[in-house]
Amino acid sequence: MRQFLTILILLCAVVPGVRANQEEIRKRQAELQTMRDQIRQYEQRIKEHQRNENEALELLDTYDRKATLVRRLVSRLRGDERELQRRISVTTRERQDLEDQLGFLKEQYAKYVSSIYRNGRTHDLELLLSSRSINQFYLRTSYLRRFSDQRRKDAEEIQRKQAAIEEVQAQAQLQLSEERRVIAEKGAEEDRLSSLAEERRTVLSQIRKNKSMIQRSIDRQMKAAREMENVIENLIEADRVRKERQTEEARKFRIPQPPPGGVTFEAKRGRLRWPVGQGSVVAHFGNQRHPTLRTITQNTGIDIAVELGSPVASVADGEVAKIIWLPSFGNLIILNHNNGFRTVYAHLADILVAEGQVIKEGEVIGESGESLDGPRIHFEIWKEREKQDPEHWLSRQ
Regarding whether 98 and 200 lie in a shared domain, the answer is: yes
In a domain, 361, yes or no: yes
The pLDDT value recorded for residue 5 is: 39
The answer to the question of residue 119 being in a domain is yes
- Name residue 7's amino acid: I
Query: How far is 225 from 217, CA to CA, in rounded Å?
Result: 12
Q: Cα–Cα distance between 57 and 70 in angstroms, integer?
A: 20
Number of CB atoms found within 10 A of residue 382's CB: 22
Mark whether 153 and 227 lie in a shared domain: no
The answer to whether position 262 is within a domain reads no
Report the C-alpha gap between 205 and 110 in whole angstroms: 79
Q: What pLDDT is recorded for position 119?
A: 53
Give residue 330's domain range: 219-255+268-392
The predicted model scores a pTM of 0.70
The closest alpha carbon to 64, from 381, 329, 365, belongs to 329
229 and 156 share a domain? no
**Same domain assignment for residues 131 and 195:** yes
Indicate if 148 and 57 belong to the same structural domain. Answer: yes
Evaluate whether 394 touches 274 at the Cβ level (below 8 Å).
yes
Reference 238, options 134, 334, 132; nearest CA is 334
* Co-location of 284 and 365 in the same domain: yes
Is there a single domain that holds both residue 95 and residue 172?
A: yes
Are 44 and 111 within one domain? yes
Q: Are residues 69 and 198 in the same domain?
A: yes
CB atoms near residue 153 (< 10 Å): 15
End-to-end Cα spacing for the chain: 74
198 and 226 in a single domain? The answer is no
Asked if 238 and 120 sit in the same domain, the reply is no
Is there a domain that residue 321 lies in? yes
| Interhelix angle 122-129/56-119, nearest 10 degrees | 70
Please tell me the distance from the alpha carbon of residue 312 to that of residue 29, in angstroms, as a whole number: 29
Give the separation between CA 56 and CA 201, rounded to whole angstroms: 12
CATH number of the domain within which 386 lies:
2.70.70.10
- Say how many CA atoms lie within 13 Å of 94 toward its Cβ: 24
- Three-state SS for the chain is CHHHHHHHHHHHCCCCCCCCCHHHHHHHHHHHHHHHHHHHHHHHHHHHHHCCHHHHHHHHHHHHHHHHHHHHHHHHHHHHHHHHHHHHHHHHHHHHHHHHHHHHHHHHHHHHHHHHHHHCCHHHHHHHHCCCCHHHHHHHHHHHHHHHHHHHHHHHHHHHHHHHHHHHHHHHHHHHHHHHHHHHHHHHHHHHHHHHHHHHHHHHHHHHCCHHHHHHHHHHHHHHHHHHHHHHHHHHHHHHHHHHHHHHHHHHHCCCCCCCCCCCCHHHCCCECCCCCCCEEEECCEEEECCCCCCEEEECCEEEECCCCCEEECCCCEEEEEEEEECCCEEEEEEECHHHEEEEEEEEEEECCCCCCEECCCCEEEEEEEECCEEEEEEEEEECCEEECHHHCECCC
Domain-ending residue, one of 208, 242, 277 = 208
Task: Tell me which residues of the chain have a pLDDT lower than 70.
Answer: 1-22, 24-25, 53, 105-106, 108-155, 158, 255, 257-262
> Looking at the domain assignment, is residue 214 inside a domain?
no
Q: What pLDDT score was predicted for residue 14?
A: 34
The answer to whether residue 161 sits within a structural domain is: yes
Instruction: Tell me, yes or no, whether 185 and 70 share the same domain.
Output: yes
Whole-number Å distance between alpha carbons of 59 and 48: 9
Confirm if 218 and 297 have CB atoms less than 8 A apart.
yes
Residues 6 or more apart whose Cβ sits within 8 Å of residue 131: 137, 140
Answer yes or no: is 397 within a domain. no
Does residue 115 sit within a domain? yes
**Number of structural domains found in the chain:** 2
Spatial separation of the C-alpha atoms in residues 314 and 244, rounded to whole Å? 28
Rounded CA gap, 287 and 225, in Å? 14
